[in-house]
Structures are given as structure tokens and as C-alpha cells.
Structure 1
């Protein structure tokens, strides 16, 4: 028989990344948690973690057990809720691609207040990071790039958008709806280092002989927009980004698009069929950006 507290210890180590943070999360000492994990491993007859000084990783057996542990914990919480005995709100853990405008997510959270309905967690990351978090069960669903040929997760496309220039509203070219790369040869630019289209953008300009000076390299899109609005430089961003002092003319000939959507494991299929309000609002906001 598996005690529930052992499952919670196990899931805490997976979610927190090491025994020390997991113990703090569970409000127990690290030796207590370690003894519990050892007991769970003896009960299952296999090691669950590979331990090292730097990090803790799941064994093959631990990876197989993880999906069962998630399901057991989820079913237990649902049973407690149905009997009016829920200890806490149900959890909702959402991952968001870092290159999605933060104001879209913030506005959606403000409108739906998911923290009042769930034990809500929000995590931003790259496509690769979100894929890893989904695979390990650290998040329930991710808003990320979809339609790229993989079949590892269930997908629900939400919105397809292109990329455009971003420049200060008082820039001499700001009134033009479309700008060719040749007209940007002498412009200062800003690099969004985390952008999934970075290599395509670099190749596009290089092939046209445009090798600008870069005034800023950043992974923070809000900061990039601030600096664009301040006139520091020009950049290329997804069309959904907006700022009061920034205009978004089209970059002539740059027709790359991306499709954003929800990705989930089989266990979270219900969240794609009947999305929680915050997910539905994020999707609405994205589509509303056109």
C-alpha cells in the first residue's frame, strides 16, 4: 500500500528539482523527506531518482511512475472535492512561451482571477523548456509553438501570426506601412535573443547585405519595447506585440509565420476540450491582436 504522503514527497522532488526545496515545500526536514523517498523506493522495488551533487534526475522507473503518481494525486483531490472535503483548491499549472507578449497573459489573469479558483502557477520558458516541463509533469498545459510535426503531446491551435518591424512612433520611417530591408541598412537594431525566428531574421538581413549595428541584445521583450519606443533601435517581433509609442510596419518579403496553441499530455486532454477561463481568455486576447 502506498501512503499518500510518500506520493507528495515524490512529486515535490520532481517539481522542485532537489530534495532541499522539496522538503521546504512539504514543510518537513530534508532527512524526513529522504527517508520517505527511500521507503517509497523500497515499496516499489526500484530506484526513482539518480542523485548527484548538482541535481536530481528521474530514473526510467521514476519516469514511468510519475504519470501514475500525478493521476493518483489528481483523482484523490477530485474525490475530496466531490465529497466536500477538499483540502485545497485544485492545481492549475500553465506554461507560457517566453516570446508571447506578457501583457496578454497579465490582462487575462486580471480578467479571470484564476488564483481564486485554483492553486495557480504560471511559468514562462522557451519551447524546449516547456516541452521538458510537460514531459515531467511539472505543468499541466503549455501555450507554445504547435503544428511543427511532433506527436508527443496533444495540441489545440489558437492563433497564427506573422512578424513585423517595431520602431519608435517618431522614427522617420514610422509612417510607412511596409519597409524593405535595403532601407534599414544604416539603422541601429535590437536583437531579441530568445526569439524562435532569430536565425530566420538574421539570414533574411544577411542575404540582403544588411549588417546593422546592434545597440541591445535582450531576452526581455518588455524591455525591448521600451527601448524601441525610446528610439534606441529597431527590431523584428511577432505581430501581437503592442506599445503606445511603437509602430509595427511590415518588413517587405519577410513572410515567416508561427502558430501558437495549447499543448498537453493525454492526462490533461480535458483541459483542451473544456479550457479553464484563464486559458480561454488568453486565447481570446491572442486572436484579438489579429
Structure 2
């Protein structure tokens, strides 16, 4: 049994005439007759009374119309649902509490996941995450921590690792180190790139503590930071892992990770549980080895 046979059958039944049904369906009357005979053979039951060039539903046919109408209505509802479903899942809005992951995640999806159009929104802090999701201003938020209340309504998955790097001149006494701890050094003259965002806010207490051991100049603007780096090629620089990846410059210096306790953090994609379908491509990326921002090896997800 094919849907076309049911469409032909119900059209004949509702118009009450083969020629009107053929005109409405824009097919020939012989094609209609062939379809009806196939349907009757499949059901092993005649559906019409044929006499004197007229065709009328018999008792079985009248019952069959009810079945056929229900089937076709369900097919139509299914098509409408998945048309809307497809449209809903071709676009998503992501909010970010930091510029670092936003600069890297959004372009990645725009380039490689063309089936989903990603738009972005910049938040000022992690405190806005819950309200942003509940008010549906965004489908997901990339942040350092999830909402503090109603945690049962939210889910999260890690998407990026963040930390700090030190860039020193090649002739600097620290240049041969594999890593460094600022709490073990003294009297460094540091230029720090700390662009506005959740990670910069998170680091405020660290810089207050380190300022007792080092001279620290904070730059919130990258161009000012870069200018300072070029004007003073002997000055050690500090920038985040994601900023280094985005700007792709070594400033003529040797770069090493800063391993002080508490400086490394994870960014999470936080979303309402009932909105996971909308974020499917993003969640799939976040949970597999395709996500190189996390800097860990993951098996492919079963999503």
C-alpha cells in the first residue's frame, strides 16, 4: 500500500467522480483506475460499486475512507512537525561571558557547521547566565560556572580549557623553562592582557596577590597590549591560552605555561535541559575529539 493510492482513493471518495478527481489531482483517469485496483487487491476487498459509468463507495469503502483520512492527516502532521523542527534546529544563539571562547567557537561553526546558523551574544558576567537562558535570550551560554539556582533545570558540558602563558625574550633567564610558577619568582616586570570578561574577573585576586612579588601592568585592550610588547621587546608578557590561540602571535618571545594553582579553568556550555535538541550540533562537537579547545582527548560521542 502506497500513500499515493490513499490520496487517489480519498480524492475520488470526496469528489464523488473519477473525472473531477483526475482533474483535481492532474492525472489521467486510467492512472486513477490502476491505483484503485492496486489498493483493492492489497486490502483484498472491493471499495466501490461500479455501474453505468458511475462509481460509488460501498460499505467497505466508506470505512476505508475513515482509515485513509486519518493516515493522511497524520502524515501531514508529521511533515509539518519536522519542517518546523528542521527550521528550529538550523539556528541557535550562544551567549558568552568571555570574548576568548566567543572568538573561537562562533567562527568554527560558521565555517564547518553550515547546517546550523550561530549568532552570538556577549554577557558581562556569569551572574547573568540563568536569567539569559530562562528568558530565552540565548539557547546556551558558554561560561565559567552555571546558574546558582534551579540547577536541576540546567545541564552543562565542558567546551574549552583556559589558562595563562608567559612570553619572555629569548635571552631571558626563564627562556629555557618548560613552565613557570609566578609565586616562585620575584621582581618580574609583567605586561598582562586581561580583556573584559569572566576570566579577567576571576583573576583579579591573583593579580592582587602577585602584585606583592612582581610589577604588573594590566591591559584590557589588545592593541595597547601589542603596542607595549613591541615598544619593550625585553618585557615578559602574560596572556591567556585562548587569546594566544586567537591572535596567533609569539611577539618574538619564548612562550611557556604558567602553572600556579587555580589559574587553569574550564568553560562550560550551559543550557536548559528541555532545549538540548536545538543545540545538538554544538553538543556533538563539544563532546567529541573534534573540540580541540578543550585540549583533552575524548572518544567520539554516541549522540
The TM-score bracket by the shorter chain reads: 0.5 to 0.7
CA drift of 1:235 comes to 2.1
Secondary structure of the residue that 1:93 maps to in structure 2?
strand
Contact in 1 for aligned 2:159/2:266 (Cα 8 Å): yes
Find the counterpart in structure 2 of residue 258 from structure 1. 265
Match of 1:212 in 2: 215
Please state how far the C-alpha of 1:268 moved relative to its aligned partner.
0.7
Residues 119 and 253 (structure 1), Cα distance of their counterparts in 2 relative to 1, 3 Å cut = closer
Task: Rate the CA distance shift 1:180–1:276 in 2: closer, same or farther, 3 A.
Answer: closer
Which residue of 2 is the match for residue 36 of structure 1?
none
Query: Which has the greater radius of gyration?
Result: 2
Distance 1:189 1:264, change over 3 A: same
Question: What is the aligned partner in structure 1 of residue 122 from structure 2?
Answer: 124
CA offsets, 1:85-136, max 9 Å, x none?
A: 988984311122315345522551243244xx34531123332344432232
2:235 paired with 1:235? no
Unaligned ranges ≥5, structure 1: 1-77
- Give the TM-score of the pair, scaled to structure 2: 0.51
Judged with a 3 Å threshold, the aligned counterparts in structure 2 of structure 1 residues 122 and 283 are, in CA distance, closer, same or farther, namely: farther
1:245 aligns with 2:245: no
The corresponding residue for 1:199 is 204
Unaligned runs of 5+ in 2: 1-77, 298-303
Q: Secondary structure at the match of 1:285?
A: coil
In structure 2, relative to structure 1, the CA distance for the partners of 1:262 and 1:237 (3 Å cut) is same
1:175 correspondence with 2:176: yes
Indicate if the aligned counterparts of 1:158 and 1:261 stay in contact, CA closer than 8 A: yes
Superimposed CA distance per residue, residues 136-159 of structure 1 (whole angstroms, 9 cap, x where no aligned partner) = 210011122236865435223225
In the comparison of the two structures, how many residue pairs are matched? 206
Check conservation: 2:106, 2:120, Cα contact below 8 A. Answer: no
Q: Which residue of 1 aligns with 2:61?
A: none
Give distance in 1, aligned partners of 2:259 and 2:283: 39
Q: Aligned equivalents of 1:87 and 1:268: distance in 2?
A: 15
Deviations 1:153-187 (A, max 9, x none): 52232257462333256462333222343545241
The structure-2 alpha-carbon separation of the partners of 1:288 and 1:271, relative to structure 1 and needing over 3 Å to count, comes to farther
